[in-house]
Structure 1
Amino acid sequence: MNNMSLLQVAVSLEQEIVAHRRHLHQYPELGFQEFITSEYVAEYLEQLGLQVQRGVAGTGVVALLETGQPGPCIAVRADMDALPLREQTGLPYASRHEGAMHACGHDGHMAMALGAARMLTGLRRELAGTVKFIFQPAEEMLGGARHMIDAGVLESPRVDGIIGLHLWPDLPTGQFGVKAGTIMASMDHVDIMVHGRAGHGAAPHQGVDAIIAAAQVLSALQVLISRESDPADAVVLSMGSIHGGSIPNIIADQVEIRGTVRAVNAATRERMRTRVTELAQAVAAGMNARADVRYEFGYPPTVNDAKWVRYAEEALRGLYGEEAIHPLAHSQMTSEDMAYYMEHVPGAFLLIGTGGEGKGKFPLHHPELAIDEKALHYGAAYLAQFVRNYLRE
């Protein structure tokens, strides 16, 4: 089967791949609750004749495509969970689960992996080795990849490398964002509890206003980015949640601030942990309040192996030509728990453009996110081409 015929197979499967995505889009489930989703995935993979294991790390699915010939094992990873978001697209296949939406493209990730599984099943006789399909739960904030690794998904057989894709509305359809080294940032969690002293709103001097103290802490933290960080060193601090107080005429005694810090440099990551804690505590103390800081390291940076990126580029050239490769000038400040797999085995994680026909209007995690579904068969073909090249080599 030559490259053109493989692409033709992907085109012929386009409607089926899109149907997968639309079905999964209608039934989004949050992390570790992907029961309907995982059953749909498992049933389809079983229909293809793959060896399927259900219930991995709770709701994960692992499927093996055995070629019957000795060789390496390559993993194809897709995540399954949705976001706690009320969809506002108005699409006929919009979410039927109130308060949940596939707004990060995981429905597309699964659809592309299922399409690749269908294509690779037809290529079984010309391959040597094993393809392991990993459909993992709970990528969003919960680190499902760690649970899958703990459950042994990189063993039996031992995985030699891993590949994956992330839908990316900032790129036009037909473009693949490629970068060797760090492609996505780390993500760490910050929880600051500011303690004051309650009082009457008419006598603020008798209390310690936790809201005022928290506001000063929030303002001061931005100095860590604007005045303490090298402008060439990518780091982002985003405090996305603040809660405190009860009614208008009571001085609040407690305010909670929660957010994330993202970095691509290990030293910067460590510095931010130290300085966020020091500054929050010092500023609160200056307001006669107290700040308790819980700072937890979360997802590590997602680091692509240079050799595996070259493999990815070869697969893309073979299918679409050089014009499909979009070199990324810098790391993306989003984070991915794909990073955990790639701490153990080499891999290539690429961004696939979905911004065709005006579909890049809304970003990921937006309730009106819509993607260009033509991208799905491009992605499926790429995954299949990469695996075919690797297992033939």
Structure 2
Amino acid sequence: MDVDKIIKKYNLDKEIIEIRRHIHQNPELSEMEYETAKYICKKLEEWNIEYIKGIADTGVVAIVSGNQTGNTVALRGDMDALPIDEKTNLDFASISKGIMHACGHDSHVSILLITARIINLLKDELKGNVKFFFQPAEETIGGSSRMINDGCMENPKVNYVLGLHVDPAYDTGMVGIRYGKMYAASDMIDLNIKGKSAHGAHPNEGIDTIAIAANIINTVQTVISRNVSPLNSAVCTFGMIKGGTVRNQIADNTSLKGIIRTLDQETRLSVREKIRAICESIGEVMGAQIEFNVTESYSPLINNDVVTRVVEMNAKLIVGEKNVVLEEYPDLSCEDFSYFAMTKPACYFHLGCHNPQNETMVDLHHPQFTIDENCMMLGVKLQVKNVISLLNEGA
């Protein structure tokens, strides 16, 4: 059956909006998506779609199995909201003060649900299986990694993974695609410098941890400018510094907190170790003790070229070649879809969600962020087409 006929027959244009508005009005923070998961399961039960709940605690994995054996394709939609007080004045604005779907995850869940419904209606024609990952905690602890640890990629074993994110930088009807490196790895730095206190008028009698911190901050930037290729990208930012208690005393302790962003694992490890070496060397030369700790966060998101080609060709068929943007540069933000992409060939792409008749554009994570709801069914059509292509032809 033709997808457009299915959408019309079951009035799915209306249903996807109803689903999105319900989820938008009832947002839940990371690791607290219990009611969202219940709502998803209720919809899956209505449509007779098999599912497993409790994956990574609040996650849900649905599965549709075709009548013929073949590949297994997985689609991901993240569920969590943000600790932001909504200021959209929508009729269906959040009823939970201080919590808002400001990153479009309400639309991601809606797209995934309606995609699952259509795929289920087409299951007699499918060669293989389709899994639907309703994922918690994208905004915080990396729920994708927890879902993988709980076995979402197994039984049946997943061959390909697809994900999308609504993007207000593009008008509805546009799709942004990038080959290779797309989002950065993120590492968190915690640096503590221990020196010796003295009167500010007699700095020679102390070990000035604020001066040492300033030296470290300046020197660390040479790691990026002189150790990373100009054709590659990396960032080291110290966003917090705390030291000293009074203006006329040498601070005996200063702490810094920052991030490192890199686009591949080799650069990630190299930059991290060079920054550590600089901090420890400066501390040693200036007589201070250095405590340097790195906490790994999300890995780099690298799209598979062959799977990305499938997405590109399908996007051109659905929205037209002129509306498909091949993104020139990666983004040094991070995205936990990267863990899926590290496990199997994958593609993550951007779905335009800005209403072209609206002159202003509000970015993600803004209290006034909303989407043009017309974008969602385009996302559904793209994902249905991508699934069928990967099942029928592989990558």
TM over 0.5: yes
| Secondary structure class of the residue paired with 2:376 | helix
Asked whether 1:363 is paired with 2:363, we answer: yes
Q: Which runs of 5+ in 1 are unaligned?
A: none
> Match of 1:324?
323
Give the CA deviation at 1:364: 2.4
Answer whether contact 2:104 2:370 (CA < 8 A) is retained: no
> Match of 2:134?
135
Give the CA deviation at 1:46: 1.7
> Match of 1:303?
302
Give the CA deviation at 1:203: 7.6
| Secondary structure class of the residue paired with 2:68 | coil
Give the CA deviation at 1:265: 3.4
Which AA in structure 2 matches 1:194?
A: I
Answer whether contact 1:25 1:93 (CA < 8 A) is retained: yes
Report percent identity of matched pairs: 35
User: Do the aligned partners of residues 35 and 247 (structure 1) sit closer, same or farther apart at CA in structure 2, a change above 3 Å counting?
Assistant: farther
State the Cα deviation string for residues 215-235 of structure 1 (Å, max 9, x = none): 443333333334443322111
Give the CA deviation at 1:273: 0.5
Answer whether contact 2:3 2:118 (CA < 8 A) is retained: no
State the Cα deviation string for residues 176-215 of structure 1 (Å, max 9, x = none): 1112222222222222223344567788776555445434
Which AA in structure 1 matches 2:259?
A: T
State the Cα deviation string for residues 220-277 of structure 1 (Å, max 9, x = none): 3333334443322111223333445567787654443222222223332222111211
Give the CA deviation at 1:63: 0.8
Separation in structure 2 between the aligned mates of residue 113 and residue 250 of structure 1, nearest angstrom: 59
User: Do the aligned partners of residues 20 and 7 (structure 1) sit closer, same or farther apart at CA in structure 2, a change above 3 Å counting?
Assistant: closer
> Match of 1:24?
23
User: Do the aligned partners of residues 216 and 73 (structure 1) sit closer, same or farther apart at CA in structure 2, a change above 3 Å counting?
Assistant: same
Pairing of 1:151-230 with structure 2 (within 5 A): 151-197=150-196, 208-230=207-229
Give the CA deviation at 1:383: 1.0
Give the CA deviation at 1:55: 0.8
Give the CA deviation at 1:366: 3.0
> Match of 2:387?
387
User: Do the aligned partners of residues 63 and 228 (structure 1) sit closer, same or farther apart at CA in structure 2, a change above 3 Å counting?
Assistant: same
> Match of 1:81?
80
User: Do the aligned partners of residues 194 and 6 (structure 1) sit closer, same or farther apart at CA in structure 2, a change above 3 Å counting?
Assistant: farther
User: Do the aligned partners of residues 83 and 285 (structure 1) sit closer, same or farther apart at CA in structure 2, a change above 3 Å counting?
Assistant: farther
Give the CA deviation at 1:148: 0.8
State the Cα deviation string for residues 25-68 of structure 1 (Å, max 9, x = none): 23333322211221222221221111121111211111111233
With structure 1 as the length reference, what TM-score do the two structures score?
A: 0.88
Asked whether 1:146 is paired with 2:139, we answer: no
Which deviates the most, 334-343 or 98-107? 98-107
Separation in structure 2 between the aligned mates of residue 194 and residue 338 of structure 1, nearest angstrom: 35
Pairing of 1:59-74 with structure 2 (within 5 A): 59-74=58-73
What's the Cα RMSD here? Answer: 2.8
| Secondary structure class of the residue paired with 2:169 | coil
Answer whether contact 2:210 2:251 (CA < 8 A) is retained: yes
